[in-house]
Structure 1
Amino acid sequence: MVVTVNKIIPFSTVDGPGNRTAIFLQGCNMNCLYCHNPETRGKCVHCGTCINSCPTGALSFEGQKVVYNSTKCIHCDRCINVCPHDSSPKTLDMTPEQVWQKVENQIPFIRGITVSGGECTLYPEFLTELFTLAQAHGLSTLIDSNGTLDFEQYPDLLAVTDGVMLDIKAGNSEEHKRVTGWDNSLVLKNARFLASKAKLYEVRTVVSPGLFDAEQTIIQTGDMLSGFLSLRPIRYKLISYRPIGVRQQYKDTLKIPAREQMEYYARLLAAKGFKDIIII
């Protein structure tokens, strides 16, 4: 079983509790207008656009494929900034065992692993195998997801998953479809199901004024999940949109929320019983 891996961050303190290894898989089924890592969305088609942008010659053509030489790379990201396919020439195809070999070097220094993307739940069997290896070595396992996998249909994956970090992009279905290209019915079903099984670690909403009704989304999500807080505390992360890393066509059209507005949303959640609320 092989998936395309965008990158592996050995030590991360922002992808779940404690120090963790974060694995980013390539490919996403949503098209979020504010996507902050669009280079993880598509697969490389070996068009070669990136080659001339590389200042160190780390990219070249061999046959009909773009080849990446990591020893020459200075990580300037010019290649992903010019890619017309929301991809990266620096990805690797890896099995769960190969990813685990990268993870186990950090075992004395990490609490667990988090797999993100792209959208990592496009590869549920891969996650199940990787998480089984991680839990056998005492590491916790988290999924960072947009909620488009019906988790109820994957009990084997859920059994080896300690928690899910779930994006709720918009509470209204039509707004969600406009922001992401997807209806949100499965996302909301997953939120309720995961919370009922004490598997919902974190909910996140990115706020950009005028893009969708953030206040109604936060109120609706808070009402939906407040009854499950006694089973497991659920962190709510309120994320301010920032024009960093986003695609150029959206950079100047989306707005940054005021800090006061984000604090108001946090108070709404606190009134519904949420204790762990983070504004970033």
Structure 2
Amino acid sequence: MSLAAIVIGRNEGARLIACLDALGGVAPVIYVDSGSTDGSVAAAQARGAQVVALDMTQPFTAARARNAGLAALPKEAELVQFLDGDCVVQEGWIAAAVGFLEAQPDVAIVCGRRREINPEASVYNRLIDDEWNTPVGEALYCGGDALMRVAALRAVGGYRADLIAGEEPEMCVRLRQAGWRIWRLEAEMTAHDAQITRFAQWWQRSKRAGHAFAEGAALHGTMPERHWVAEARRALLWGMAGPLAIVLLVVAIGPVGLLGALVYPLQVLRLSRRGGGIWALFSVLGKFAEAQGALGYYRSRLMGRKKRLIEYK
């Protein structure tokens, strides 16, 4: 089956070079650039990639960039490996993924294990590395790195270009509704370089997740999908309703109402039995950022405003 690759990026520098070099056996490689000023375009061209420069006068989303790459694919391309420019495909992944799709004609997307390059650099990188470790087998969604059938993507209209987050899971919902399956292999797929070393970066990333939960639930929250309804509700419960209830308790019965805040350390203790203390602590803290992102989505929707990117790098 004919194979191509689409890489999206902006000012990735040496990471983009490593990404493209690892795709040495794949052609064509299409690099979609979103306004880089670090020589990324020239570096991609020097490595034989076809460059698509996005019109940055239009609102940018990663989904829009991936659609631009999809539109630039040659007609004969049957499979496409999507990659973010800060990722490096691992040896053996392409062959394993292509072989799986050839053997499973009803699978539209196959993904594998994405790992952080430097999980020891920060607690945030370690958390993200654990986040990428999704269950093996049939899956509901994939992430930004995955091997996909071009015909299936085009049949459902590709990515929803106006989404600022959660674009792959949303597209996977539509693919599954069309009868396709998504699969996670027990295979090393890509190495990712998050470079999240500050709390503020992690907060923004969690805030973006909350936005994605709220918008995903708004788009596909009805039965049978219930897409991200539970995630959005948990964010609002722990990140908004909980603090509001504590404030009301204090107003109603005085300082003793602050005892209601003990529900948060108790929740950390409860979750720590499942994934350890560090994960539990940040899972609870993250609900405040997720609630902020969800409320931001609802506010923009109510006021008819355009959604703005939530960036953490």
Q: Does TM, scored on the shorter chain, surpass 0.5?
A: no
Higher fraction of strand: 1
Higher fraction of helix: 2
TM-score by length of 1: 0.27
TM-score by length of 2: 0.25
